[in-house]
Structure 1
Amino acid sequence: MSSRSERACMLCGIIQPFKKFYSAGCPNCESLLHYQDNEDGQIQDCTSPSFEGTVALGADNKESWVARWLRIDSFAPGLYAVKVNGKLPPDIIRDLEEQNVIYRPRDGSAED
């Protein structure tokens, strides 16, 4: 369920148009993935046009069991994908690990 312009961040799952990732970055992951004004393919590599299900996250997200289940309860309000098809490139995963960020793929393959 995605249009061609909408993409989901592979790290947090937020859904935004490509242009918004480019102009404003990701409200949750910008300090890690640096989408804003990035012309070297970061948006193509770290977001996916293929995702399933959507959840609207409001300002009172701490009370939402769905937000806790999806691990988005500390993220900015917005529209999130339940499942994002694709995985971050290995070099990005290494960069995240160096920053002590645990990457759990949002494609359903992560085991807890």
Structure 2
Amino acid sequence: MLHNIPKDFRNLRACLVCSMIKSIDQFESQGCDNCEQFLSMKHDRDKVYDCTSANFDGMIFLTDPDDSWVGRWQMISKKKIGIYAISVSGTLPNAVVSEIRAMGMHYKPYMRDTTSKNAFGYEHSIIPI
């Protein structure tokens, strides 16, 4: 469980799909605990920069996803234990979105960006089509 918690607060980034926060090195060595199956960031620093953002607001430490009202409020109650951003600015590059579509899934841009008028409140930013 503690392997996905950042050891310090330098070089932190948030996943553009699920908003999990890790260091650049953690995303590169472990990938995203929630999104690795379709983002494939593990061992690919360029993909880490493409699929994460250093521009995020707030932090939530999700310790009990099934029993967390904050997790439900932030739509992360079905995610893995870890630290999450309240809001993440940015969107995936077109090439990554195309890869996701080829897997039969659909990406909702700005889903995790609550500062944007495009945040419609979908539970997940990647959904099967």
What TM-score do the two structures reach when normalised by structure 2?
Answer: 0.75
- Counterpart CA distance in 2 for 1:80 and 1:48 is 12
Task: Show the 5 A alignment for 1:17-96.
Answer: 17-39=23-45, 41-58=46-63, 60-96=64-100
2:5 aligned residue: none
Question: Can you give the 5+ residue segments of structure 1 that lack an aligned partner in the other structure?
Answer: none
> CA shift at 1:4, angstroms?
4.7
CA distance in structure 1 between the partners assigned to 2:11 and 2:28 by the alignment: 12
Give the partner amino acid of 2:80: A
Q: Gaps spanning 5+ residues in structure 2: where?
A: 1-8, 122-129
Kept after mapping to 2: 8 A contact 1:4/1:49: no
Q: CA separation in 1, counterparts of 2:52 and 2:12?
A: 10
Q: % of aligned pairs identical?
A: 36
Alpha-carbon distance in 1 for matches of 2:73, 2:107: 16
Question: How many equivalent pairs are there?
Answer: 108
Give the letter aligned to residue 36 of structure 2.
Answer: E
Question: Which residue matches 1:6?
Answer: 12
Q: Distance in 1 between matches of 2:101 and 2:93?
A: 13
Using the alignment, how far apart are the partners of 1:98 and 1:30 within structure 2? 16
* Cα RMSD (Å): 1.6
Secondary structure in 2 matching 1:79:
strand
CA offsets, 1:28-71, max 9 Å, x none?
Answer: 111110111114x111111001100111101x211222212222
C-alpha distance 103-65 of structure 1, shift in aligned 2 (>3 A)? farther
Deviation track 1:1-45 (CA, whole Å, cap 9, x = no partner) reads: xx5510000011000000001111111111110111114x11111
